[in-house]
Amino acid sequence: MSTEPALSVRDLEVTYYTDDGPVSAVNGVSFDLMPGEKLGLVGESGSGKSTMALALMRLLRAPTVISGQVLLDGEDLIGMPERRVRQLRSSKISMIPQGAMNSLNPVARIENQIIDTLEDHGTRRDKRTLLGLARDALEAVGLRRSVGRMYPHELSGGMKQRVCIAIAVAMQPQVVIADEPTSALDVVVQRQVMDTILKLQDELGVAVILIGHDMGLMAQTVDRLAVMYAGKLAELSPIREIFADPLHPYTELLIESLPKLADRGTFRGIPGLPPSLRSMPSGCLFHPRCPKAFDPCVDLEPAYGATSVRPEPVEGHQRFVACHLHQTEESHVG
């Protein structure tokens, strides 16, 4: 496997300009996504996960301001002319957006919607070949080729979501961002849709960013997990290590809030609420809710970086955190 990241994000910031003033939804996020890696991204509602995904796709519009770097094969997506971004979308980086299945065009046949994506992103082939590619894409996600002739209303939720996956991978991109791809589906269909994504991920060697709330699903699915809180990364660690020994108290509480059999279904949430993005607390953004907060947390913002106190980890097992309980090397992020 190549050691060059498929995607490198540095100091990504996104500010929405609203009538009530600016909202800093993503605030200095940095990480590397390795080729073929499955990276999970979790965090409470409003923590900035979808905003980050849309920023990585350059799908946010003015008056939103994005800064930082998003390097894809050495090219920085931020600041790149829209024409070039359009060429890269779908061909190198694509997305299964939140609620994707509702975004299918109700009056267009499924195969034409896949062909549109192929043509939109520069595939110049005759209609017959394009039709073949579209039907291949449907087969790749476990649907019959004849589904191509159907309209969205003729399909179940799970089938529609598979079509969206087919559209996202039709151009064989190197990075796919899946924003809550299984929400609004029942549990059995959720598993089938997730298995489809994982099968394609494995076959195509594509790197996946899987966004969600479900820590249980993440535990079964991803290689590393990034935890977002109020627009910042709190921790990013390999999945095994993060569950065995969470570094950030917020990660610990997220894991503890998973229902356990022994608790007989008792639900333990995280006390308090995330801060308003318009008036952030001083110091560590999590300190008002943190059971382990101590003096420096109130005034001093912890730097996000690689942990430096543990024995040197093997390649790919580095852990990253922003917490005063852990010493970090700020210059090293990934």
Residues that bind ligand ATP (CB under 6 A): 16, 18, 23, 25, 43, 45-51, 277
- HEC profile of 106-127: CCCCHHHHHHHHHHHCCCCCCH
**Residue 131 or 280 with smaller CB distance to ligand ATP:** 280
Closer Cβ to ligand ATP, 19 or 82, answer by number:
19
Q: How far is the CB of 248 from ligand ATP (least distance, A)?
A: 17
Nearest-angstrom CA–CA distance, 68 and 72: 13
- Helix locations, the chain, DSSP H: 49-56, 82-88, 110-120, 127-140, 157-169, 187-204, 215-221, 239-244, 249-256, 295-299
- Comparing CB distances to ligand ATP, the nearer of 279 and 331 is 279
| The length of the chain, given as a count of residues | 334
Question: Minimum Å distance from CB 298 to ligand ATP?
Answer: 23
Q: Which is nearer to ligand ATP, 64 or 87 (CB)?
A: 64
Nearest residue (CB) to ligand ATP, 50 versus 174: 50
Q: How far is the CB of 92 from ligand ATP (least distance, A)?
A: 23
Work out how close the CB of 23 gets to ligand ATP at its nearest, in angstroms, rounded to a whole number: 5
Phi and psi for 97 in degrees, rounded to 5? -70, 165
Between residues 24 and 113, which has the closer beta carbon with respect to ligand ATP?
Answer: 24
Helix-strand-coil percent breakdown of the chain, rounded to 5?
Answer: 35, 25, 45
| Cβ neighbourhood burial of 288 (10 Å; 0-12, 13-18, 19+) | middle
| Nearest distance from C-beta of residue 238 to ligand ATP, angstroms | 22
10's enclosing H/E stretch is strand 7-18
Q: Do residues 328 and 305 lie in contact, with contact meaning Cβ atoms separated by under 8 Å?
A: yes
Answer for the pair 161, 101: CB distance below 8 angstroms, yes or no. yes
Cα(180)–Cα(85) distance, integer angstroms? 24
Q: How far is the CB of 284 from ligand ATP (least distance, A)?
A: 19
The least CB distance from residue 49 to ligand ATP, in Å, is 4
Question: Nearer to ligand ATP by C-beta: 47 or 94?
Answer: 47
Number of Cβ within a 10 Å radius of residue 294: 10
- Whole-number Å distance between alpha carbons of 318 and 36: 17
Q: Looking at beta carbons only, is 16 or 151 nearer to ligand ATP? A: 16
d(CA 320, CA 310) in angstroms, rounded, equals: 11
CB of 297 to ligand ATP, least distance (A): 22
Closest Cα partner for 290 from 266, 308, 271, 307? Answer: 271
